[in-house]
Structure 1
Amino acid sequence: MSLRPISDLRREELAHAALEVFLTVGTEGMTLERVAKTAGTSKGTVLHYYLTKEALLDRVLRDVLRVLGREAQACMMARTTPREKVNAQISLCFRPELFTPEYAGAWLSVIARCTGDNGLDRYRRLIARRLRSNLRAYLRPLVGATEARPVAESLAALIDGLWLRRAVDPAGLTPDRAKALALTHLEESLAFL
């Protein structure tokens, strides 16, 4: 095993601290000073590794997407039928360790900043596009290409709404309830076709 450079380890440590701050106070409250305090270092050290707050936030979002992508891929490998894959995709959106008030609030803060921040909007579009694309691909064998798009769009809109509800009313919606609502919508959509 080769040794990793200390600079790589320090960047990871700072990214982990930034994720913790991001989940606590969102994008607006995430400052380099808060990240430094959480990491037990100085703002100058943070600036040495990440020149701007945006660069650090970009690292945090890339790391989260990479982990989620690996988990989704592993989950889908275990599914064989299109219906299992659709259900698994919905379940992934509401995993208890992900569908938390902290993640929902942080995601809401990203969405709120999207209008003026192209970097954050890129992540929002990427996540939305990936969800709709996956849903369409898994729905196509079940409902055909023509119907897959509107069913996927309605499911994606419902998922977005449930995440929004989780952010504004953390106690009002559990991961199990959110998943049940999305699966019920899927059942009703498939029955209607």
Structure 2
Amino acid sequence: MPATIGVFALQGDVREHLHALTNLGAEAIGVRRPAELARCDGLIIPGGESTTMYKLARTFELFEPLRERIAEGMPTFGTCAGMIMLAGEVLDGTADQETLGGLDITVRRNAFGRQVDSFEGPVAFDGFADPVHAVFIRAPWVDRAGEGVEVLARVEQGPATGRIVAVREGHLMATSFHPEVSGDDRIHRYFVDIVEQS
């Protein structure tokens, strides 16, 4: 029986993640309510706007159930704003910014700049033979990764060379970039494997 993997669906680029997961044979569902979350073996928190995400999660009474499932060990993958949502600490956030936490990282919000500074390029991802095509849109980066955090990718060229853009800590992983828009399913496959192994 395929794993059921939810995509946080109150805000962000939901459809692309659902499509990628379905293509890999997972049962992919949008998650807007606690009852939908309860069905999930794993979860993706997509790119979008992190402050809007936590406010909507509070409004729809999903914030605390999400936090609990993550703390209990549900595999969770955050992309861009999802990375911010999983971070233990956020720099340049709003005064009332809340996160779900879980990852022992400090993330700098909008680190690469505004929308006009969005860019794309090859990034070497740990364990992959060939680089991934990474799309950065108003993306964060990781300023600090704790001792238990595995760095999966760094920027290799340009003014942000060396910046951490993908991490994993146990059942949690996050990327600064948007693998769902590249047409390359290797990072989604990597996450589906984590879910299936758990």
Give the number of the structure whose alpha-carbon radius of gyration is greater.
1
The two structures share one fold, judged by TM-score above 0.5: no
Shorter-chain TM-score range? under 0.3
TM-score by length of 1: 0.26
| Structure 1 or 2: more helix by fraction | 1
| Structure 1 or 2: more strand by fraction | 2
